[in-house]
Structure 1
């Protein structure tokens, strides 16, 4: 009994005492923000047809749909081309800043607003990757995804070094951003633009209030207890959101695999053959013909896809088996991106899979990236010659190196 109580106490302390998976949450932050950013830039010439006020899916149709399902979209708050362009540019900016990890708490909310606004404006302009990105943009709001590999982490480390030297650290950007966002929220709330949806506005106001409370707890109270309490709440929300992301990924693969088993084409091993001959999914016809010409390869890929998707949730407690299937799924999505011409769907799924990557691999990958960046000389700087030891009889020189 005491051993069980001790294990439960350790589990609670681990969940509340730290935000688990900092590297995994950073990878999914970069993955989803990068996927959405690439999509927005790729479709920038076609943005009017996809989400514009004069597109095939008109504003009236969008208004009728959102009034029925209560979906959130900021594009319908105001009419006109200027408002659409502003929303599109803000969505691009939020993706860039979240990718870099600048003010990740605020940018994750703005990123969610951009994703939901565009996707709910024209729900027929997308594929399965849009559904994944739609859900993950909401989950990212609850994560502390800027602990590592972000500008926030760099700023926090710099502030910590300044405090160690006895210097006073004053953050002016955070309160200014908080004030501007609060003013905008008050304006759209008083204008009645948030009446169609309840969940997203409540989440926006809660995030705004939490950021203000976090600043007040660290600024106006001498005791560290309020900040510790808020830190515990943030850790619980982060760990819960990370668990939900993992469960969502397992649910996607489990349902996809079990539904495939029920299909006759997947049972006889020919399901992969037919998408390779669809004009909409054949950006490289010669490559598709090469793959579909080998019946054995088609059968292996068909059965292998089903086996990997069904088996993956059951291998999470076996590290080696999980890593093997995880690599297989990532390779499969990369092949889908090239062969079937679905790059954004594949990137969204790879970003979802990244939550299961082992920490040792991610830290090693970060070390490689840091060493590679250190080898690149700064722009406009000259490589300085390495110092040499003075020869015998030569006086030693003392100086400063720029």
Structure 2
């Protein structure tokens, strides 16, 4: 995002700060005296094809809004960290049982998986080979990609590998998952299309340092630094895709998708390397913002559909209607990691009634609360508390983590910035104690380590900190 595309502090829409409407040209136009208008034509009323200026202004402002910046960068960063962390911790927990879940020792054998995938055309690289070495390599790469996405390191590339790992493992043993796995499955694909490393990432820190170096005393004299790591990653992935395409491992649809991403990465690198402030880079930024914002809308709609369908299906159940549905899972050994706590709660009819009806009410009402940020934030806190309760009382931590990560797209920006400042302050205090004499390092103007986006989102180097006018995350109001 360039300086001219960055939202202004006075709240003026981005369209009002279009790069072609410079102050000099505006003053020159203002200095020219107005000429007398030509006499009206005698041919009758204006043509109906004449555009309405009000409509033109509305659509121009809307187009400028969705192409000038990536909306909700902090919320998207939390979604990125939340889902990658959930998958990373899940793979770590199941590491001793990985062969039974997704590998050659599982009840869903390689032959059964091959027959199912031939019929539903699901994507998984685990079907490229049945060897144990290949399975271990895919599992390790999935762990590494999850960690890279958490840290925001080379996020555009890491998010694709992360998606490949999620789809490969889950589609290999499709009957092993639950609702949380389905959410991770969907969000892994959506994250590929977002600029999810614009803040709170190593990519952002690298781009901020690059921008600071470009603005230093040697600005304009030194050549841009070579991105050896990015070129190596791009080349290795290209070689892998070439081999899989020639060998028949990729279907036509998935092959076109991956090759399109690979080519887009090359265009992005060329634009940033040779024309960092040219028209090609500006077009790349606009397209990336447009795709990001469209993907963010899809994520919002997906979360609303999850809660709406869950709530309305619950309403149709007799146990939810009579207010006793929550009682039954609390009395199952499989969902009772804390039997004493479950027995205490199940012994109170009033608590069971409140939890049952409260769950349905919150899930059904939440999509409609997007029109009022105060009510939305209150129900959002209730849903997060509900998922924390599910994690503790029913022993479903990863399902709850996935749902909380999905809820994060609605979190207020002010709350996220407050939490980020507290977390950063605590980290700096720990760092200062570990290395006495260094103390706190002052942050440069424009914010601490939140700037520009490196490989992950490709924000313009001239925009070290993405701005967000709304203080409420994703909301209609």
Shorter-chain TM-score: what band? over 0.9
Q: 2:298 aligns with which of 232, 244, 265?
A: 244
Which of 292, 306, 315 does residue 369 from structure 2 map onto? 315
Give 1:378-393 correspondences, 5 Å limit.
378=432, 381-383=435-437
Match status 1:185 vs 2:241: yes
Q: Contact 2:303 / 2:407 at 8 angstroms: preserved in 1?
A: yes
Counterpart in 1 of 2:88?
37
User: How many residue pairs were aligned?
Assistant: 384
Give, in angstroms, the shift of residue 368 of structure 1. 1.3
Aligned counterparts, 1:326-345, within 5 A = 326-345=380-399
Root-mean-square deviation (CA, aligned residues, Å) is 1.6
- Cα distance in 1 for residues equivalent to 2:244 and 2:53: 55
Q: How does 1:263-342 map to 2 (within 5 A)?
A: 263-342=317-396
Is the 2:432–2:438 Cα contact (8 Å) retained in structure 1? Answer: no
Quote the residue 1:100 is aligned against: 151
CA contact (8 A) 1:315 1:322 kept: yes
CA distance in structure 2 between the aligned counterparts of 1:328 and 1:220, rounded to whole angstroms: 50
Distance 1:248 1:264 in 2: 27
Residues 159 and 169, structure 1, Cα contact 8 Å, conserved in 2: no
What corresponds to 1:158 in structure 2? 209
Question: Counterpart of 2:409?
Answer: 355
Match of 1:232 in 2: 286
Partner of 2:72: 21
Query: How far apart are residue 108 of structure 1 and its match?
Result: 0.5
**CA distance 1:344–1:237, change in 2 (3 Å):** same
1:168 aligns with 2:219: no
Say which structure is richer in helix: 1
Equivalent residues of 1:377, 1:383 under 8 A apart:
no
RCO higher in structure (CA 8 A, sep ≥6): 2
User: Among residues 109, 113, 127, which one is paired with 1:76 in the alignment?
Assistant: 127
> Residues 261 and 369 of structure 1: is their aligned pair in 2 closer, same or farther, counting only changes over 3 Å?
same
Aligned counterparts of 2:426 and 2:345: Cα–Cα separation in 1:
36
Q: Tell me the alpha carbon deviations over residues 221-261 of structure 1, each in whole angstroms, 9 at most, x when there is no partner.
A: 48610111111111000000000000000000000001111
Structure 2 vs 1, CA of residues 296 and 217 (structure 1 numbering), >3 Å: closer, same or farther?
A: same
Cα distance change of structure 1 residues 357 and 177 upon mapping to structure 2, 3 Å threshold: same
Distance 2:164 2:401 in 1: 20
Assess, with a 3 A threshold, how the Cα gap between structure 1 residues 106 and 261 changes in structure 2: closer, same or farther: same
Could you say if the C-alpha distance between residues 266 and 385 of structure 1 is closer, same or farther in structure 2, counting changes exceeding 3 Å? closer
TM-score by length of 2: 0.78
Residue 380 of structure 1: CA displacement? 5.2
TM-score, with length taken from structure 1? 0.93
Query: Shift of the alpha carbon at 1:194?
Result: 1.0
Equivalent residue in structure 2 for 1:127, among 178, 182, 188 = 178
Q: Structure 1 residues 272, 4: CA separation in 2 closer, same or farther (over 3 Å shift)?
A: same
Q: Equivalents in 2 of 1:247, 1:343: separation in Å?
A: 24
1:56-114 deviation digits (Å, cap 9, x = unpaired):
11100000000000000011101211100000000000000010000110001000000
> Which residue is 2:19 aligned to?
none
Distance 1:236 1:384, change over 3 A: closer
Matches of 2:411 and 2:356, distance apart in 1: 25
Structure 1's unaligned 5+ residue stretches are 387-402
Structure-2 separation of matches of 1:128 and 1:223: 45
1 CA distance for matches of 2:314 and 2:149?
Answer: 36
Cα gap change, 1:124 to 1:12, in 2 (>3 Å): same
What's the counterpart of residue 114 of structure 1?
165
Please state how far the C-alpha of 1:353 moved relative to its aligned partner.
0.2
What is the rounded CA distance, in whole Å, between the counterparts of 1:294 and 1:175 in structure 2? 62
Taking a change above 3 Å as real, the CA distance of residues 151 and 233 of structure 1, as seen in their structure-2 partners, is same
CA contact (8 A) 2:330 2:394 kept: yes
In 2, the alpha carbon distance for the partners of 1:85 and 1:218 equals: 36
